[in-house]
Amino acid sequence: MSHPPGADPRPLTGEPLALDLLNTRWIDGSGPHDLLDSVAGLGVWLNSPAVRGHLDPTPAADPATRDRLLLARTALDTLVASAARQDPATPESADRLNEVLSHGRIRRTLGPDGAPMSVVEMDDPSWAPAWYAAENWLRLVADRPDRIRPCANHACILHFYDVSKNGTRRWCSMAGCGNRAKAQRHYARRSGA
């Protein structure tokens, strides 16, 4: 690929963490890609801005972190499919997410300056990225579950959280899938289809 080493090669970034984890897989002209198919790719993901903001310090890119992240991604796969159909989560997919969530917890305390604090504790640091992605899913579901969407291009596997005012976003990107759909409609009209 033509991107410099360490640069995030993905076509869509900047979605909430749970969806950003799903968007570690994408399909382009050269076929399917998976950023998490190597520990080096995991390092790229952990250092991307959307992820770094959640994780301080940045966890080590190692096989254990990757395995746990893949468990979270598998759970999110089935959850996002249900969400796209506006169906409730199946018990099996809820169990899978809850298994990831069981490895971390939020402890509430009153801080030294009298302000409330939330401290996140993990069984092991390698669970942190997976746990934060799973926890982010809970936030999306609590906030606007109807805004969790797959790209309307059926050949595209990316997901986004539609934060537009009217909730009319359909594409992962207007420049990519949006334009392709517009071009296809145009040719269909010209050929009388």
Binding residues for Zn ion, rule: CB under 5 A, are 151, 153, 156, 158, 172, 177
DSSP 8-state code for residue 6: T
Nearest approach, Cβ of residue 106 and Zn ion (Å): 34
Which tokens in the block code for residue 112?
Answer: 């030294």
Closest to Zn ion by CB, 111 or 167: 167
Closest approach of Cβ 97 to Zn ion, in Å?
25
CB nearer Zn ion, residue 134 or residue 172: 172
Nearest to 98 by CA among 81, 79, 126: 79
Distance between CA atoms of 77 and 90, rounded to whole angstroms?
Answer: 12
The residue count for the chain:
193
CB of 165 to Zn ion, least distance (A): 21
Give 164 or 191: the residue with its C-beta nearer to Zn ion: 164
∠ CA 76-121-39, nearest 5°, is 50
Given the complex with Zn ion, which of 145 and 178 has the nearer CB atom? 178
The minimum distance between CB 80 and Zn ion, in angstroms, equals: 14
- The Cα–Cα gap between 50 and 130 comes to 14
DSSP code of residue 60: P
